[in-house]
Structure 1
Amino acid sequence: MKAVYATDLSAASEAAIETETCLECLSRIGVEQLHLVTVVPANVHAGTPGIDHQKRRRRALARYRDVIEDAGLDVETHAVRGTPHRRINGVAEAVGADLSIVGSRGKQPLENRLIGSTTRNLARTTVVPLLVNRIEREVDEPELVEKQLFRRLLYATDFSTNADRAFEAFSYLRHATREATLVHVESPNSPGPDGDVTAEDRLSELADRLEEWDIDATIDVREGAPADELLEAEATHEPTTTLLGTRGHSRLRRLLLGSVSETVVANARGNVLLVPPK
């Protein structure tokens, strides 16, 4: 597998990229090659006297190479110019990436949790699974909120085709996953699976499949507003990553994040893995 890691070369990004446990997790799910991408924003003037922004970023990217190679991964670096999410997606498509990764700051207690525009735009437009890697904010030496990226997963499903596609990610995540909680929220817009099969029955079938991969699986059926209940489920089960599919199309964007997915990726405490439709 190939993965693209988007970095702004900040201390937070450095903490994520150089976390040995994080790199081991990526290796465990089959990532063999990591493409580090940093983008000089289009609004940064290319002709600033005495400053070559791309050259400075290439030098900074080179500092990460030894750490990543020591973890057993091949490394390619890309310092490009333009609109960040477009260039990151462009590199992902050009190299045939199977996964994109972007760091996102968490929140302090009692604050609203926000995600940056690059993360939000990547979540809305990615054509490959996107891991939003949560990083501590407003600390001098930030670290990942959850270093064991895939050890405990919370999988959210409304039994749609897109949710089924997200479940397929367990085919490679299982090599790093020990526990999984399968969650469905019943609401007027998502009543449950078709036919006479109950949500509990369908989740149990999925749990049995995970048990065959030695993943300890439990189910959780809730009622209420899906986004609110999924965030409550995350607080209850404390997964390292929440896995869910995105859905919807828009004439203005190639893919438009569903309101539930957008709320979860913006407000989850831990990591979020978004799987887009084909």
Structure 2
Amino acid sequence: MYERILIPTDGSETAETAVEHALDLAEQYGAEVHALYVVDTNAMSLSLGGEQLDRIEQGQYGEMDEVRERAERATGYVTDRAAERGIDTVEHVSAGRPHSMIANYVDDNGIDLVVMGSHGRSGVRRALLGSVTERTLRSTRAPVLVIDED
């Protein structure tokens, strides 16, 4: 049923909870896992100049080593956890609008299932999905399994 499962990750606790669910499914179906970290250029554009954003979008981080390290930690977590279970993993980092990049990755890589965190919040906002999760649900045709850390 599932051959390729995508885990969009930001390295948060909620994303790490989603990783466990995705790996359980990958084990059950013998699926390959794809770990995707998207550098949100919309959020970064408020603090960075256009030239720096262009380099990030081309995978040239330069002085953005912290961003690269965060991305590598997040996707590396998925790879490490998958390796413990003998599951093949593909790591990818991209830059742009997260929901658009997730949808593009799904289309470009034949993804059968997306498993991602809800980015749950406390209080009244807890009932609402994170904006990236909600937009991903609306922008991809692949099934999306949304995991809350609770």
- Give TM class, smaller chain: 0.7 to 0.9
Per the alignment, residue 56 of structure 2 pairs with: none
Asked whether the equivalents of residues 38 and 57 of structure 1 are also in contact (C-alpha less than 8 Å), the reply is no
Asked whether the equivalents of residues 57 and 79 of structure 1 are also in contact (C-alpha less than 8 Å), the reply is no
Per the alignment, residue 75 of structure 1 pairs with: 89
Question: What is the percentage of aligned positions where both structures have the same residue?
Answer: 27
After TM superposition, the structure 1 stretch with the greater mean CA deviation from structure 2, 125-134 or 42-51, is 42-51
Asked whether the equivalents of residues 42 and 82 of structure 1 are also in contact (C-alpha less than 8 Å), the reply is yes
Per the alignment, residue 39 of structure 2 pairs with: 40
The residue identity in structure 2 corresponding to 1:42 is: T
Per the alignment, residue 27 of structure 2 pairs with: 27
Asked whether the equivalents of residues 103 and 135 of structure 1 are also in contact (C-alpha less than 8 Å), the reply is yes
- Return the index of the structure with the highest Cα Rg: 1
Whether 2:97 is the aligned partner of 1:64: answer no
Asked whether the equivalents of residues 38 and 98 of structure 2 are also in contact (C-alpha less than 8 Å), the reply is yes
Whether 2:65 is the aligned partner of 1:52: answer yes
TM-aligned CA deviation for residue 89 of structure 1:
1.0
Could you give the per-residue CA deviations for residues 23-57 of structure 1, whole angstroms, max 9, x where no partner exists? 223321x1520101110011213738832355224
Asked whether the equivalents of residues 4 and 32 of structure 2 are also in contact (C-alpha less than 8 Å), the reply is yes
CA distance change for structure 1 residues 37 and 76 in 2, over 3 Å: closer, same or farther? same
Instruction: With a CA cutoff of 8 Å and minimum separation of 6, indicate the structure with the bigger relative contact order.
Output: 2
TM normalised by structure 2 equals 0.75
Per the alignment, residue 137 of structure 2 pairs with: 123
Alignment RMSD (CA, Å): 2.4
Asked whether the equivalents of residues 54 and 80 of structure 1 are also in contact (C-alpha less than 8 Å), the reply is no
Could you give the per-residue CA deviations for residues 148-193 of structure 1, whole angstroms, max 9, x where no partner exists? xxxxxxxxxxxxxxxxxxxxxxxxxxxxxxxxxxxxxxxxxxxxxx
SS class of match (2:10): coil
CA distance change for structure 1 residues 41 and 105 in 2, over 3 Å: closer, same or farther? closer
TM-aligned CA deviation for residue 14 of structure 1:
2.3
Match of 1:114 among 128, 131, 135: 128
Per the alignment, residue 8 of structure 1 pairs with: 10
For 1:1-278, what aligned pairs fall within 5 Å after superposition?
A: 1-17=3-19, 19=20, 23-28=23-28, 30-43=29-42, 44=44, 45=48, 47=52, 50-52=63-65, 55-60=68-73, 61-106=75-120, 108=122, 111-112=124-125, 113-136=127-150
Asked whether the equivalents of residues 3 and 31 of structure 1 are also in contact (C-alpha less than 8 Å), the reply is no
Which ranges of structure 2 fall in alignment gaps of 5 or more residues?
Answer: 54-61
Distance (whole Å) between structure 1 residues aligned to residue 120 and residue 67 of structure 2: 28
Asked whether the equivalents of residues 35 and 76 of structure 1 are also in contact (C-alpha less than 8 Å), the reply is yes
Distance (whole Å) between structure 2 residues aligned to residue 115 and residue 104 of structure 1: 5
SS class of match (2:118): strand
SS class of match (2:64): coil
Distance (whole Å) between structure 2 residues aligned to residue 111 and residue 84 of structure 1: 24
TM-aligned CA deviation for residue 92 of structure 1:
1.1
TM-aligned CA deviation for residue 64 of structure 1:
3.0
Which ranges of structure 1 fall in alignment gaps of 5 or more residues?
Answer: 137-278
How many residues were matched structurally?
A: 132
